[in-house]
Amino acid sequence: MKVIVISKRMWIGILLGLLVLGIGLVIYMSMQERETESTAPTMAAIDSYELNAIPVMSRMVPVYRVSREDNVIALTIDAAWSADKTPFILDTLDQYGIKATFFLCGVWVKAYPEMVKEIAARGHEIGNHSMSHPHMNRISTEEIKKELTTLDDEIERLTGKRTKLFRAPFGEYNDTVVSTVRDMGCEVVQWNIDTVDWKEGRTAETILNAVLPKLAPGSIILSHNNGFAIETYLPKLIEHAQKEGYRFVTISELLPEGDRTVDNNGLCKPAG
């Protein structure tokens, strides 16, 4: 068997060849990428859209935050499981004189009807969080409508009012979800500040360190009625925000009056 011996000079030649080949490949890929970018629509070319209008070159986006010049923010509380901490939350909100928006799931409404009445009686806003907490982007338009309507019927029976706001379970949505809900006369609301208080092990200090630096006019904060550490972090969050000059309002109060637009980053502002 013949053994091929590669000299040091040959090794250098091989390595140099591979290097040149690699550089050529990088240049080729870069040219391809630039060509693709030049033919793709830029974000700047995609205009904001008016509610209830489906644009040709845009995606439907919920409200994540609101453009405000005054120091107003909104606290939102999702309720989908348990209720043992809800009385504390309601008492704390009363203590500091603020109103919040509660997004209630149908399973929770069915399990705690008296608590639903109490939330409404204390002057807080109630939003729709779907009847069965499904993955909304996996169901049909008719099923989306049924999820909202069935829960609204129950909330109206308990409180005398139907909802005007919707938050998608798991934060999941697509164009069909957003357009269908808006066609029903409801606004779709997400959040731009997440406490992640559903995650076990997150301390009040961790939550506050993540939330407080992000406070800004028009912010929407997400909490959960049975969130871990909420009994510790909620009073401190409120105290800090009020000390910094922020005023808590409901989502309906936070939103602009009349016609409004929502851009591709979820920023809601008055139309025109």
Structure confidence by residue, pLDDT tens digits, 184-220: 999 999 999 999 999 998 999 999 999 999 999 999 9
| 168 or 39, higher pLDDT | 168
Active site residue 135: no
**What's the pLDDT at 46?**
25
Backbone angles phi, psi at 223, to 5 degrees: -130, 175
Banded pLDDT at 34 (limits 50, 70, 90): very low
**Catalytic, out of 94, 224, 240, 263:** 224
Banded pLDDT at 9 (limits 50, 70, 90): low
**Catalytic, out of 47, 70, 78, 94:** 78
**Residue 30: pLDDT above 70?**
no
Task: Give the range among 14-28, 142-156, 215-229 with minimum mean pLDDT.
Answer: 14-28
Fold of 60-270: TIM Barrel (3.20.20)
**What's the pLDDT at 13?**
56
Structure confidence by residue, pLDDT tens digits, 115-165: 999 999 999 999 999 999 999 999 999 999 999 999 999 999 999 999 999
| 190 or 15, higher pLDDT | 190
**What's the pLDDT at 98?**
97
Q: 126 pairs with which residues across the strands? A: 102
Active site residue 129: no
